[in-house]
Amino acid sequence: TVFCGKCRLEYEKLGRLPCRLCGKKQTLCRCIPESCRGVVSSAVHLFEYDEDISRRVVSLFKTKNLRVLQDFLIKELAAALSDAVGDELSHYSVTFAPRSAKNIRVYGFDQARILCEGLSDALHIPMTEPFRHARRFGEQKLLDSEKRAENAEKSYALRRRWTRESERLILVDDVVTTGNTAARLARLAREAGYSEILLATAARTPYRKNEQKSEDEECRLLKKV
């Protein structure tokens, strides 16, 4: 009900593609974005944000409130997290990278919150909301690599009168490109007392041993979404 036959085959092929850094298939890869190393303990994702089918899935997830697609990605990511964490899941709570108030007004929903709520239900772990937007800044996808890092630092802060419920945290987002937003939120989570942070995303830009895709090129592609 999510894909036509052809697109289903393309999506399944995405999951089988080996990571260009560790060589493992996508759901078994635990490579951490360079900007998140030292603050994120591990990472889980479903597919690379590098093909037409992956960009279409992410675009629909961000812009259309399609329950069938949301349920599909929740189920897929819940399975990947269960495989990655196993019996230790009960020690985690789950949170998300909050969407800006402007984009919530434009699209009518927060896709990362929906993903987080679904994972909380599917994995039977508590959902928590330690982060808030500090103020309005430019959209990450429209900025170059240098400005993305600066924007991420200024855009998020810890909520006041918020209580930590666990020692370990799953940080959920729909897509990771440079990893600057995830890194900022992970540092805030460390400040809040979390000892272990697992980054969970539907999609991520590919990591390469000898060749890093230009972040400005990623920015150009994202502007089309």
Taking only the tens place, the pLDDT of each residue in 137-190 is 555 455 555 566 676 788 899 998 888 989 999 999 999 988 999 999 999 999
Mean pLDDT value of segment 5-10: 92
Residue 1 has pLDDT above 80, yes or no: no
- CA proximity to 166, closest of 131, 126, 123: 126
Two structure tokens written together for 67: 């329950």
Determine the pLDDT at residue 165: 84
CB atoms near residue 9 (< 10 Å): 11
pLDDT one-digit tens code per residue, 209-219: 544 444 444 45
pLDDT grade for 41, boundaries at 50, 70 and 90: very high
Query: Which one is predicted more confidently, 135 or 112?
Result: 112
Two structure tokens written together for 23: 């060589």
* Residue 176 contacts residue 45 (beta carbons within 8 Å): yes
Determine the pLDDT at residue 212: 44
- CA proximity to 65, closest of 115, 116, 133: 115
Percent of the chain residues past pLDDT 70, beyond the cut: 84
Determine the pLDDT at residue 216: 47
Mean pLDDT of the chain: 87
Determine the pLDDT at residue 31: 94
Residue 85 has pLDDT above 90, yes or no: yes
Cα angle 88, 94, 96; round to 5 = 145
Determine the pLDDT at residue 138: 55
Q: What pTM was estimated for this model as a whole? A: 0.86
Determine the pLDDT at residue 210: 45
